[in-house]
């Protein structure tokens, strides 16, 4: 989940190429990078977008490399704990990410573009699995949202809200991710169906 554990107005601070920055200051700079990446994404023919480990690392580097050149764009090299989640050991990350990308590509090949519940189930799995792997030291939530935006684009679906700022909806989303960690993706799938209902 990465930075998803942080809160707006958090007292957490970062050492960056611009000196010490608060969580809010870092978030503001990352928001600019994220908007730029999304704009480029939507200018790319959808069939040319292929989500691979290299694609993920490049997006992470574009997102945060100007602030954290030492580790942005590289898989984490330490074990972490995110809230109650203990993501897989760092040395498993490269293999898990490769497996995730291969599985994603295969599922995408077979998804029925006219079947919204099936699409919701696919995106639910992508949403949860990426955050569970937690491949980067930080900012996994933002990269996960880029993955989801790319898939919505490839599926010719409208953008949906994947980063709720409303405290209640944010809590609901985080609880749904934790339910996924326990093997129950139903709450997250219900959120995805609701997202579609609100966007279409």
Q: pLDDT tens for residues 29-70?
A: 999 999 999 999 999 999 999 999 999 999 999 999 999 999
Q: Are 66 and 73 in contact (CB under 8 A)?
A: no
Q: pLDDT tens for residues 103-147?
A: 999 999 999 989 999 999 999 999 999 999 999 999 999 999 999
Q: Are 5 and 83 in contact (CB under 8 A)?
A: yes
Contacts of 92 (CB under 8 A, 6+ apart): none
Q: Coil, helix or strand for 126?
A: helix
Structure tokens belonging to residue 98: 């490769």
Q: Please provide the average confidence, as pLDDT, over all residues in the chain.
A: 92
Annotate 4-29 with b (16+ C-beta within 10 A) or e (fewer). Answer: bebeeeeeeebebeeeebebebbbeb
| pLDDT at position 11 over 70 | no
Q: What is the pLDDT of residue 12?
A: 78
Q: What is the pLDDT of residue 1?
A: 38
Q: What percent of the chain has pLDDT over 70?
A: 94
Q: What is the pLDDT of residue 165?
A: 85
pLDDT band at 3 (very low <50, low <70, confident <90, very high): very low
pTM (2 decimals)?
0.91
Q: What is the pLDDT of residue 4?
A: 43
Domains of the chain listed by start with CATH number:
2-199 (1.10.3290.10)
Contacts of 52 (CB under 8 A, 6+ apart): 101
Q: From residue 72, how far is each of 6, 67, 77, 93 by CA, in Å?
A: 18, 8, 12, 15
């Amino acid at each position: 989940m990465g930075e998803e554990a942080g809160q707006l107005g958090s007292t957490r601070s970062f050492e960056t190429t611009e000196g010490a920055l608060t969580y809010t200051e870092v978030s503001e700079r990352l928001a600019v990078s994220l908007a730029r990446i999304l704009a480029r994404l939507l200018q790319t023919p959808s069939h040319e977008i292929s989500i691979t480990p290299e694609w993920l690392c490049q997006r992470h580097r574009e997102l945060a490399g100007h602030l954290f050149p030492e580790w942005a764009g590289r898989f984490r090299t330490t074990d972490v704990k995110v809230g109650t989640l203990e993501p897989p050991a760092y040395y498993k990350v490269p293999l898990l990410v490769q497996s995730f990308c291969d599985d994603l590509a295969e599922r995408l090949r077979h998804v029925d573009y006219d079947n919204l519940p099936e699409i919701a189930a696919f995106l639910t799995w992508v949403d949860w699995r990426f955050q569970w792997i937690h491949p980067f030291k930080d900012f996994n939530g933002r990269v996960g949202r880029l993955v989801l935006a790319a898939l919505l684009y490839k599926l010719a679906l409208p953008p949906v809200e994947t980063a709720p700022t409303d405290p209640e909806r944010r809590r609901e989303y985080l609880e749904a991710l934790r339910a996924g960690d326990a093997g129950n993706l139903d709450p997250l799938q219900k959120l995805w169906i609701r997202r579609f209902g609100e966007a279409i």
